[in-house]
Amino acid sequence: MRKNRFLIWFFWVLVLLVIFSLFEQAKKAKMQVIDLTTFMNQVKNGIIKNVRIIESEAKLIGKKKDGEVVYTYFPYSIGDEIIRELQGNNVNITVVPPDNGGSWTKILIEWLPFILVIVIWLLILNKSNPGKALDFGKSKGEVLTPDKVKVTFDDIAGYEEVKEEVKEIIEFLKDPDKFRRLGARVPKGVLFVGPPGTGKTLFAKAIAGEAGVFFIAASGSEFVEMFVGVGAARIRDLFSKAKEKAPCIIFIDEIDAVGRQRGSGLGGGHDEREQTLNQLLIEMDGFSANDNIIVIAATNRPDILDPALLRPGRFDRKVTIPLPNLAEREAILRLHASKIKLKPGVDLKFLARATSGMSGADLENIVNEAAILAAREGKEFVDRENLQMAFEKVVAGAAKKMRSLDDKEREVLAYHETGHAVAGAFLAPHKLIHKVTIIPRGYAGGITFLLPKKEEFLKTRNELLAEIKVLLAGRAAEEVFLGDITTGAENDLKRATELAYNMVTRWGMTELGVRSFGKREEYVFLGREIGMSKDYSDVTAAKIDEKVTSIIDECYEEVKELLSSKKEEIKIIVEKLKEEEELEGEEVLKILGLEVEEMVYEEKVEGNENGEVEEELMTNDETLEIVNAADNELKEKVEDDSAEKAEGA
């Protein structure tokens, strides 16, 4: 507080000095400068009656009868003669003797603007980063002591295989002599690779929490600055801190910001980024065997990293953290549900089944959104309806019920979405109709939710063709039932064309042969695909276009035939959809005369002796027991698989 007060007072003193100097300059600007001869002639002629002599500046200031002020300078060698001449002309003379401090005052006034600029600059830096205005080369990495790292493997549901893969790192940090006795070298760097939201940062913290060591976290972007050399200095400071805290873990998030391949890209190299990367390579390669420091980095783009960064001795171990499977999604949902008040009997399997392809962060967001919806409605607990609404909101956006649609638009949307649903029911047996709605969500006028019946790791040719047919069914329904088409199928046509094109050029699923067409080139500096070179002739290009068009046309005609054969059922669905705006998948299947697949959404809760259901909220401990049981089951499965592989070997 005292320091800030001093800076404020110092600032205002400088401001006053600047104002004073400006007044002095303005005062000087009012005086007219003349030569010495003219000045002395005006003295002789009685025009100037008052003269002020400033000896230190060899300056004569004269005041005329009319009040005008003029000044001139005289040589030091004739100073005495000028004074005698002035005295002989009956002029009032005032002599200002030399002042030793005058020169310093002049210097201060001349340099004051520059000093003021520097002080203001320092004040701005101090305000943005108090106490560290000039610490450009200091690392901004956060240092967490072992007691502040609260995350352990108990906070990570599922991923037992990943836990097994990093377990030896924890053991090395706890007992390095166990490995050194046998001459083993634990990896100095571990690279976590996986899609966004899969828990790479969480795993790094959990390793530090399990090992009970310091955790130093930094971001790759903080090492890339405008000034060359700052990033390299911060790297040196980061590793210097780590050596003081050893054993410890250095975690660098989004390392691709600084670790991209050198000398690549449209604009060539970037001096600051490349110097920073070089310093990182040197620091990692300079570790001695007793440093007890492990560097963990995270990225979702390992393909653009510099090869020198991935060689043995640096990031020589790559751990893939994939999207969770069905069992892991259920365990993750249970873990996050333990932090909210969940209605007893709600089974999370239906949500785990519906969220195929989602990350752990997505699942946490769904549970949190469900709790927010329940709180907004004033409920005492979160039920299945809240979870389902949260899932739909995260996937497609919030429902915009206030958006006004006229009767014609509602009819078009109803036929469009019904076309998707009917095609999905009859042509896509690997999909399950979850809900059909004509309530706008996001940029979509309506949505048909089709969920996978099982985990989808691979897709067959027939499944891809079925997805193309479902995408085209909305446009086909408009043409068959309304006799006109709209712009509502824009995204459907784009996705269908992309699938057909990939079937021809990437997956070899047509008569053009079992090969891929086109070499996709990536500029690692940009980090994205920006072009594709042709490795085929123009004749082949024409055949590719013809085949893509053929797939789209054949699927479209088949969908039109299906919809034409189900006109009565479709009209019933459309009328109910226009009236209710939303239909559950089971209701659509019943109208179509198809068997409804049973899905267990909620566990049955037995009633008491009066037949009433007693609702008791599960405690966090009870829910965590379920989560731990699921984790143990996964762990046993991993150990059994490992044992079988060992026996086979």
Check residue 126 and give its pLDDT.
Answer: 58
Round to whole Å and give the CA distance between 388 and 139. 45
Q: Is the pLDDT of residue 367 over 70?
A: yes
Across 142-146, 349-353, 626-630, least confident range: 626-630
Return d(Cα 129, Cα 135) in angstroms, integer: 9
Q: How confident is the model at residue 349 (pLDDT cuts 50, 70, 90)?
A: confident
| 478-481-487 Cα angle (round to 5) | 15
Taking a C-beta distance cutoff of 8 angstroms, is the pair 561, 543 a contact? Answer: no
Q: Bridge-partner residues for 584, per DSSP?
A: 435
Q: Region 31-58: what's the mean pLDDT?
A: 77
- Residue with more model confidence, 511 or 143: 511
Tokens standing for 435?
């809900």
Residue 330 above 50 pLDDT?
yes
pLDDT in tens, 284-319: 876 555 567 888 999 888 888 888 888 887 888 888
Inform me whether the pLDDT recorded for 627 exceeds 60. no
**Around Cβ 290, how many Cβ atoms within 10 Å?**
9
CB neighbour list of residue 614: distance below 8 Å, 6 or more residues apart: 605, 607, 608
- Say which range, 61-75, 301-315, 404-418, has the weakest mean pLDDT: 61-75
- State yes or no: pLDDT of 5 exceeds 60: no
Look at residues 142, 189, 409 and name the one whose alpha carbon lies nearest to residue 294: 189
Mean pLDDT of 599-613: 38
Q: What is the DSSP track for 106-126?
A: HHHHHHHHHHHHHHHHHHHHH
More confident residue, 135 or 347: 347
Of 176 and 119, the one with more pLDDT:
176
The tokens describing 220, both together, are 């790759």
| Residue 492: half-sphere exposure toward Cβ, Cα within 13 Å | 26
Predicted pLDDT at 648: 43
- The residue-averaged pLDDT of 197-216 equals 88
Phi, psi of 162 (to 5 degrees): -65, -40
Radius of gyration of the chain (CA): 39
**Closest listed residue to residue 439, CA positions, set 262, 250, 577:** 577
- The region that residue 394 occupies, defined by phi over 0 for left and psi between -120 and 50 for alpha, beta otherwise, is alpha
Give mean pLDDT, residues 496-503.
94
Highest mean pLDDT among 20-24, 37-41, 322-326, 471-475: 471-475
Instruction: Please compute the mean of the pLDDT values over residues 490-500 and round it to a whole number.
Output: 93
Coil, strand or helix: which one is 96?
strand
Q: Are 315 and 309 in contact (CB under 8 A)?
A: yes
Give the percent of the chain with pLDDT over 70. Answer: 73
Which positions ≥6 away from 423 have C-beta within 8 Å? 469, 470, 472, 473, 476, 559, 562, 563
For residue 98, pLDDT over 70 is answered with no
pLDDT-derived band at 612, boundaries 50, 70, 90: very low
The tokens of 316 are what?
């020589």
HSE, side-chain direction, 13 A CA sphere, residue 7: 16
DSSP category for residue 136: T
Is it the case that residue 623 has pLDDT exceeding 50? no
Residue 496 pLDDT grade (very low, low, confident, very high; cuts 50, 70, 90):
very high
The predicted structure's pLDDT at residue 279: 82
Q: Residue 192's closest CA among 255, 145, 139?
A: 255
Pair 193, 310: CB distance under 8 Å:
no
When mean pLDDT is compared across 116-125, 221-230, 264-273, 274-283, the lowest value belongs to 264-273
Q: Say how far apart CA 598 and CA 355 lie, in whole Å.
A: 18
pLDDT range class, residue 641, cuts 50, 70, 90: low
Highest mean pLDDT among 108-112, 323-327, 406-410: 323-327
State yes or no: pLDDT of 178 exceeds 70: yes
Q: What is the per-residue pLDDT for 49?
A: 76
Say if residues 611 and 339 touch (Cβ distance below 8 Å).
Answer: no
Q: What is the mean pLDDT of the chain?
A: 77
Question: Which pTM value belongs to this model?
Answer: 0.67
Query: What CA–CA distances, in Å, run from 477 to 20, 451, 550?
Result: 83, 21, 20
Indicate whether 76 pLDDT > 90.
no
Beta-carbon contacts of 358 under 8 Å, excluding residues fewer than 6 positions away, are 323, 324, 329, 366
In this prediction, residues 389-417 reach a mean pLDDT of 82
pLDDT beyond 70 at 111: no
Strands 248-253 and 293-299: parallel
Tell me: pLDDT of 644 over 70: no
Residue 502's pLDDT band (cuts 50, 70, 90)? very high
Q: What pLDDT was estimated at residue 1?
A: 45
Least confident of 86-100, 284-298, 506-520: 86-100
Query: Average pLDDT in the 373-380 region?
Result: 90
Q: What does the pLDDT read at residue 292?
A: 77
For position 20, what pLDDT does the model report? 63
Give the residue-averaged pLDDT of 25-29.
56
- Structure letter (DSSP) for residue 310: S
What sign for the dihedral angle of Cα 132, 137, 142, 147? negative
Burial of 458 (0-12, 13-18, 19+ CB in 10 A): exposed
Lowest average pLDDT, out of 35-39, 233-237, 549-553, 626-630, goes to 626-630
- φ, ψ for residue 220, nearest 5 deg: -60, -30
Catalytic residue, from 222, 328, 417, 478: name it: 417
pLDDT of residue 405: 74
Please say if 417 is a catalytic residue.
Answer: yes
Pick 638 or 60 by higher pLDDT. Answer: 60
For the record, the structure tokens of 245 come out as 């805290």
pLDDT value of position 616: 39
pLDDT attached to residue 169: 84
Q: What is the pLDDT of residue 124?
A: 63
Q: How many contiguous H segments (helices) and E segments (strands) does the chain have?
A: 21, 16
Nearest to 253 by CA among 304, 303, 202: 202
Which residue type occupies 46? Answer: G
**Contact, 380 vs 371, CB < 8 A?**
no
- Say yes or no to pLDDT of 605 above 60: no
Q: Which of 8-12, 17-21, 234-238, 509-513 has the highest mean pLDDT?
A: 509-513
Of 211-215, 259-263, 417-421, give the lowest mean pLDDT range: 259-263
Please give the distance of CA 219 from its chain centroid, rounded to a whole number: 11
Note the residue count of the chain: 649
Residue 322 corresponds to which tokens in the numbers above?
Answer: 């994939």
Q: How many CA atoms lie within 13 A of 314 on its CB side?
A: 18
* 3-class secondary structure, 32: strand
Residue with tokens 């400071």: 237
**Across-strand partners of 531?**
521
In angstroms, the CA 649 to CA 641 distance is 12
At 555, is the pLDDT very low, low, confident or very high (cuts 50, 70, 90)? very high
Residue 617, pLDDT score: 39
Question: Phi and psi for 95 in degrees, rounded to 5?
Answer: -105, 125
